[in-house]
Amino acid sequence: MGSRRAALLCWSSGKDSAWALETLRRRDDLEVVGLLTTVNAEHDRVAMHAVRRSVLRAQAECVGLPLHEIEIPAGCSNEQYEAALAQAVASAYARGVRAMAFGDLFLEDVRRYREDQLAGTGIEPLFPLWGEPTDALVRRMLASGLRARITCVDPRVASGSLAGRELTLDLIEELPPEIDPCGERGEFHTFAFDGRMFRRPVPIHAGETVERDGFVFTDLVLQDGASEATAR
């Protein structure tokens, strides 16, 4: 690895994580050595994005990086989450990781929380997408060939009919002005399935859409015959 620092990328499975990976891979001083994802152990899905663990693993394989899963219980408390994260950070440090990157865009309180959690661990927090205007950012993502589907919508602020749709320029134009075009305030979450950061597209299709716990979710399903070992 030479003088390049080993970095983990906190991976939500969404477009911002995917674009953060693309951005980090252009740096000469870092090597992204793995993805770190929080998984709800009871439901076997990515926290908030509600992506199946099997689909997450297939995505990581298509990206070409090891996936490190932090399991948390349903209804996880802050204390439980922070204990699980601290264990994952300590394990990463022991493996030689010296930086951890996040796809956060502009929420100052979220950034401060990340920085506080890593303070004194020997691992530096990185925010490769920080501060870029989100309208320009999402258009740049899409222009590059990044493809993503909306997996979760907060119907209190955005139409539930967005769930399951592919994120496109036309969809961005449909969004009311009060909705961040990257969904940074939690208006919607996405699953990235193709783009320059992938070795091959993730073979998924949209399944059932349901409303649960105040959110609208679309289930993403691996195509018949596909698995996390797809195309090996």
Q: Per-residue pLDDT tens for 172-223?
A: 999 999 999 999 999 999 999 999 999 999 999 999 999 998 999 999 999 8
Q: What is the pTM for the complete model shown?
A: 0.92
Q: In this structure, which topology does domain 5-222 adopt according to CATH?
A: Rossmann fold (3.40.50)
β-bridge pairing 147-153 and 215-222: antiparallel
Return d(Cα 45, Cα 51) in angstroms, integer.
5
Show me where the domains of the chain are located: 5-222
pLDDT band at 226 (very low <50, low <70, confident <90, very high): low
Write down the pLDDT at residue 232: 30
pLDDT for position 2: 54
Question: Is residue 150 predicted with pLDDT exceeding 90?
Answer: yes
Residue type, 125: P
pLDDT, one tens digit per residue, over 75-131 is: 888 899 899 999 999 999 999 999 999 999 999 999 999 999 999 999 999 999 999
